Each structure stands twice: as C-alpha cells, then as structure tokens.
Structure 1
Amino acid sequence: MSEYYFFYDVKKSYKIEKWFMSNFHGTVILEHSAPITFTIDNTTYTIRFVEESQTIYCIKLYGGDIRPYHKSVIGKIEKFLNKIKNEH
C-alpha cells in the first residue's frame, strides 16, 4: 500500500529546503514540506511511500505534461529523499 510520506523532523525539513534551493536554483519550486510537494514547469508533484519496499517515489498531482527532463529531476529527488529518510 502506498501513502503520502511526511518528514516529521524539523532538521530534515530544513535540509530538504536547503537541498532544493542549492540543486535546482529555482527551476524546481518546493511548494510544501509536509508532505513534500514541488513544481516543475507548472506541473506539481508529491511523494508517496511504499511500506513493503521502504521506498519513496514521486507522483504527478496536476498540471501539464511530464517533460522528458522531469524524469531525470524526479530521479534525483527520489534518490535524495530515500537517502535522508533513514538518517537519524
């Protein structure tokens, strides 16, 4: 079963915000951090969590078409979020 994933640690939320700003320089806009919601080219995404595999992945909420480079950006975001989810 998949569901939205929330980072409940304030330090992680701050780290996520800082990471988005330093890696995407405004091309990806972090809208919310609970749950993480971000926009690329007027297309909004959020993250989901698969409990069985303990992985975070991104889904499109609404907006335009998913452009080819969105997939590479999303892959980078998923890799980062899966890495920090296990940090203490």
Structure 2
Amino acid sequence: MSDGWTWEYWWPETELDLGPVLAGQIKERCEELLRAAETLYISGQRHEGGSEAQVAYVAGGMFEYLIAPRLLKLVVVSVTAY
C-alpha cells in the first residue's frame, strides 16, 4: 500500500489450509480494506486507541480481522469457509 499499510494472517500457515479461490478472495478484500484504512485512520505513532475485531464476507466464506493503525497493519485472525 502506498502509505506503508500491509496485511497478514495471524498464523502464517492459515493460507496453506485455504483453497486458492478463497485465499485469493481474502487477499482482494484485505487490499480493499487497507485502502479504506489509509483514509480512515490516523496512522502510526499518532494513533491513539485500538480496533475491535470486524468481520468481512467473501464468496465461500468469511474472515475476522483487526486493524492496528499504530503498526499500519491489518491482521486476519480467523477464517471460516462454507
């Protein structure tokens, strides 16, 4: 992302357990969420406070994520496929 924002899975091996279609949809949605975070949050050391877990839905599943503005990071903490 242009402002240094990144995303990752809480457990790096999570993507290995997902099918390529679901993993691709999660990646696409996370990139959209990062673009929004760049404009919604005062980033870096100036940010005070935290973020509550939020849920995003994609075709074939859903995932729960946290946004950590002080770290310029979105972290996917759980994925549910259905």
Same-fold status (TM-score > 0.5): no
Normalising by structure 2, we get a TM-score of 0.29
Higher relative contact order (CA 8 A, sep 6+): 2
Normalising by structure 1, we get a TM-score of 0.28
